């Protein structure tokens, strides 16, 4: 009986994975390899190749980075000094997360990032302004759409709750989508975009793309948010 259940789960996982090819956001990552090289580019334009020792978080955001440089000297880097960085996922984290956009080689391209590092499983962070009420602050944010982020950036919300998921034999096969992200268009500040507000704000968010509004505007679904971002990037010149 157990074999039948596991076989059914495998078939269902495959079917859902096929249907999920439109889901191109990478999965948020919290664990990084201490053995592989990380690449940190500072705001002064210099890039350091380091090995991660420890990341310290405060209110869900990186507050301090301890690393070893190429001479194995331990140093601390302030997030405020970093423009962007590529961190390698730990082997365990890579085994437990499926980055669907890596399944489609046609998406492995952006003029503003190192596409090969993304294809190799690196996670991309960048410094950005984030709105909190009427004030903005600079944070290092994990970009969830690195290979199609020329016009829109979607950032990981570490406090986002998730939608209900479907599981078979202990395997999650559907659902579990974040209910909020941080969202930024062009060079503006990022702000929190939630599942509950998306339908109401859809036409305003994508007001510069009539084709997208015409296609999805009558009943925009939060589960298609990644698709909307991807299509917007290709439609707007």
What is residue 11's predicted lDDT score, i.e. its pLDDT?
A: 38
pLDDT along the chain (237 residues), means of 10: 46 38 72 94 96 92 94 95 94 52 49 84 95 91 93 93 47 62 94 96 97 96 96 91
pLDDT tens readout for residues 27-43 = 888 889 999 999 999 99
What is residue 134's predicted lDDT score, i.e. its pLDDT?
A: 86
Nearest partner of 104 among 145, 143, 165, judged by Cα: 145
Residue 26 burial (CB < 10 Å; 0-12/13-18/19+)? Answer: buried
Q: Can you spell out the DSSP letters for the chain? A: -HHHHHHHHHHHHHHHHHHGGG--PPPP---B-SSS-EEEEETTS-EEEEEEEEEEEETTEEEEEEEE-TT--EEEE-GGGEEEEEEEBPHHHHHT---GGGG-GGG---TTS-HHHHHTTEEEEEEEEEEETTEEEEEEEEBS-GGG-SSEEEE--TT--B--EEEETTEEEEE--BSEEEEEETTS-BEEEEHHHHHHHHHHHTTT-HHHHHHHTTS--GGGHHHHHHHHHHH--
What is residue 133's predicted lDDT score, i.e. its pLDDT?
A: 84
What is residue 88's predicted lDDT score, i.e. its pLDDT?
A: 94
What is residue 120's predicted lDDT score, i.e. its pLDDT?
A: 86
What is residue 109's predicted lDDT score, i.e. its pLDDT?
A: 56
CA distance 221 to 224: 5
């Amino acid at each position: 009986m157990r074999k039948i259940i596991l076989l059914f789960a495998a078939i269902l996982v495959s079917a859902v994975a096929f249907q999920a090819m439109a889901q191109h956001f990478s999965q948020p990552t919290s664990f990084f390899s201490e053995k592989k090289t990380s690449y940190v580019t500072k705001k002064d334009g210099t890039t350091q190749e380091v090995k991660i020792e420890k990341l310290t978080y405060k209110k869900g955001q990186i507050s301090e980075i301890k690393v070893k440089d190429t001479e194995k000297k331990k140093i601390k880097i302030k997030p405020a000094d970093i423009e962007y960085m590529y961190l390698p996922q730990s082997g365990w984290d890579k085994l437990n997360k499926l980055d669907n956009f890596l399944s489609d080689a046609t998406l492995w391209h952006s003029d503003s990032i190192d596409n090969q590092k993304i294809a190799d499983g690196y996670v991309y962070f960048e410094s950005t302004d984030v709105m909190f009420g009427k004030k903005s602050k600079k944070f290092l944010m994990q970009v969830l759409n690195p290979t199609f982020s020329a016009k829109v950036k979607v950032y990981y919300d570490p406090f986002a709750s998730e939608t209900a998921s479907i599981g078979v034999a202990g395997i999650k096969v559907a659902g579990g989508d974040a209910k909020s992200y941080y969202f930024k268009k062009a060079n503006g500040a990022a702000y929190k975009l939630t599942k509950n507000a998306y339908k109401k704000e859809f036409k305003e968010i994508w007001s510069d793309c009539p084709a997208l509004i015409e296609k999805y505007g009558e009943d925009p679904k939060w589960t298609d948010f990644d698709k909307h971002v991807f299509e917007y990037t290709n439609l707007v010149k």
